[in-house]
Amino acid sequence: QKEVEQDPGPLSVPEGAIVSLNCTYSNSAFQYFMWYRQYSRKGPELLMYTYSSGNKEDGRFTAQVDKSSKYISLFIRDSQPSDSATYLCAMSGVSGGSNYKLTFGKGTLLTVNP
């Protein structure tokens, strides 16, 4: 079983739709969870950062972590064509460690159609 599983898509939605992106993981030591957005031919940019279980909201984006189910989600409300990108989940186990390595999902390609 891979440490982090993420459906690669592609996912195509109409403008204004609510988008749900998900990752599952197997390592119960993961405590820190991130979502990155990567536009074509660009480097990933950090969207959301959450610690442990719960929800975090930032504008149209909501990150949700369910540690009991080992499941994380990113919701995008009122999706826009500019949201079209690949979304990568990432996680780590021990903050304050000497190397801060992250484990990434393979990414989900999202297209929002006008």
Partner 1 sequence: SQTIHQWPATLVQPVGSPLSLECTVEGTSNPNLYWYRQAAGRGLQLLFYSVGIGQISSEVPQNLSASRPQDRQFILSSKKLLLSDSGFYLCAWTSGSTDTQYFGPGTRLTVL
Shortest Cβ 81–partner 1 spacing (Å): 22
Measured distance CA(73)–CA(54) in Å, rounded: 11
Measured distance CA(104)–CA(4) in Å, rounded: 7
Measured distance CA(19)–CA(98) in Å, rounded: 36
Shortest Cβ 29–partner 1 spacing (Å): 13
Cβ closest to partner 1, residue 32 vs residue 75? 32
Binding site for partner 1 (CB under 8 A): 8, 32, 34, 36, 41-46, 49, 88, 90, 92, 95-96, 98-102, 104-107
Cβ closest to partner 1, residue 10 vs residue 16? 10
DSSP label at residue 39: -
